[in-house]
Amino acid sequence: MKNIAVIGSGTMGNGIAHVFAQNGYNVSLVDISEDALKKALATIEKNLDRQIKKEAISEDDKKNTLANITTFTSTEEGVKNVDLVVEAATENIDLKLKIFQNLDKICGPETILATNTSSISITKIAAVTERSEKVIGMHFMNPVPVMKLVEVIRGYNTTDEVTSTIMELSKNLGKVPVEVNDYPGFIANRILMPMINEAIESLYEGVAGVEEIDTVMKLGMAHPMGPLQLADFIGLDVCLSILNVLYEGFGNPKYAPCPLLVNMVEAGHKGVKSGSGFYSWGHGTKDLIVADRFAK
C-alpha cells in the first residue's frame, strides 16, 4: 500500500494528508475548491515549519513531505490507481453516501474505502457500495499530526483482512490504532459527547460558569483542556451532529443535546471556526476569554 487519496482538504483532510506524506506515502489530496487546496497546502507547510522549530524534523523532511502531495479538483483523477481512499469531507450523511457511491464506481476493485467519520454508521456508508467488505472507518483525532489515536471501525461486512491492513497501516504512520465495532458514536464520541453535553447542561442550569466548569475538569480530572473549550475546538455544530446521531441511534434521552447547544449552533456560534462559542476566539492571543454572553 503506497498510493493514498484523501477526499476533503479541511482541518482533518489536510492533517491526514500531512501524516501520510510525511511517512513516505504518495498522497492525492482531492477537493472541489482550488482555493481550499491552496489553503490546505499552506496549513501543512506551516505545521511542518512548527515541527522543524521543535527539531522534530529537518528541512529535507519538509521538502520530501510536500513533494509527496499532489492536489486534484477532480475526484476521478485523484483516485486513479490508489490503494486506499480516506474520505474526510463534512460530517453530513447525505454527502458521505454520495461520495462513497461515486468512489465505488470509479475506484479499482481492490481499493479500500475508508471514512474519517466521527459518528456515522460505517455499515450504512458501506451499504451504498458494491464492496461493503472493503469499507472501514479510520477515525483520526484532531490535530492529526499530533494525536496518536486512530479508531479503526469495522462495518458489519468489513473483512478481517481489510481490518488488519488498516491497523498495520496506522502503526506505520506512528499512530496507535484501536479496533472497535460499528455502533453509534463508536467509543471516543460515545463517551466524550455525553460529557461535553453534561458540561453544557451544567452551564445552562447555572450550576457553574464556563471557566469554573473547565477548571474543575482540568485540575480535578487531569484533562488537558476543559469540555467547553474542547467543544469550541471540535466545533459546536459537529458536537450537535454527533449527539443527534447518538440520540437517534439509541433512542435514549440521555443523549438528547442540551437546548443551549442547539440555540448556539442555530445562532451561528460554533466555536473556534466562527470566532465565538463558549469562549471568544480570534483576538490575537492564546489567552482564554469567555464569550460575552457567558462573562460575569
pLDDT per position in the chain (296 positions), as tens? 899 999 999 999 999 999 999 999 999 999 999 999 999 999 999 999 999 999 999 999 999 999 999 999 999 999 999 999 999 998 889 999 999 999 999 999 999 999 999 989 999 999 999 999 999 999 999 899 999 999 999 999 999 999 999 999 999 999 999 999 999 999 999 999 999 999 999 999 999 999 999 999 999 999 999 999 999 999 999 999 999 999 999 999 999 999 999 999 999 999 999 999 999 998 877 789 999 999 97
Query: Is 142 annotated among the ligand-binding residues?
Result: yes
Say what the pLDDT of residue 1 is. Answer: 87
Q: How far apart are CA 64 and CA 133, in angstroms?
A: 34
Q: Clarify whether 151 is annotated catalytic.
A: yes
| Catalytic status, residue 252 | no
CATH superfamily of 189-294: N-(1-d-carboxylethyl)-l-norvaline Dehydrogenase; domain 2 (1.10.1040.10)
Rounded Cα distance between 216 and 225, Å, is: 10
Q: What is the pLDDT of residue 285?
A: 79
Ligand-binding site membership of 9 (annotated): yes
Predicted structure pTM score: 0.90
The pLDDT score that the predictor gives to residue 231 is 97
Helical residues (DSSP H) of the chain, grouped into ranges: 11-22, 34-53, 59-67, 75-78, 93-106, 122-126, 160-172, 188-204, 210-215, 221, 227-234, 236-250, 259-266
> Is 273 one of the annotated binding-site residues?
yes
The per-residue pLDDT for 287 is 87
Going by the DSSP 8-state scheme, the letter that residue 180 receives in this structure is E
Contact 185, 193 (CB under 8 A): yes
**pLDDT (0 to 100) of residue 283:** 82
Instruction: Provide the pLDDT for residue 62.
Output: 97
pLDDT at 27: 98
Q: Is 235 annotated as a binding residue?
A: no
Of 139, 202, 241, 274, the catalytic one is: 139
Q: Break the chain into its structural domains and give their ranges.
A: 3-181, 189-294
φ, ψ of residue 106 in degrees (nearest 5): -105, -15
One-letter amino acid at 127 equals A
pLDDT tens track for 37-47: 999 999 999 99
Instruction: Identify the CA nearest to 88 among candidates 26, 30, 146.
Output: 30
SS3 percent helix, strand, coil of the chain, rounded to 5, is 50, 15, 35
Which of 18, 151, 170, 276 is flagged as catalytic?
151
pLDDT of residue 293: 93
Q: Topology of domain 3-181, per CATH?
A: Rossmann fold (3.40.50)
- Does residue 211 have a known ligand-binding role? no
CA pair distance 249, 197, nearest whole angstrom: 17
Q: Which of 14, 47, 121, 189 is catalytic?
A: 189
118 is in an annotated binding site: yes
Set 47, 118, 121, 197: catalytic member: 118
275 backbone φψ class: left, alpha, beta (φ>0; ψ -120 to 50): left
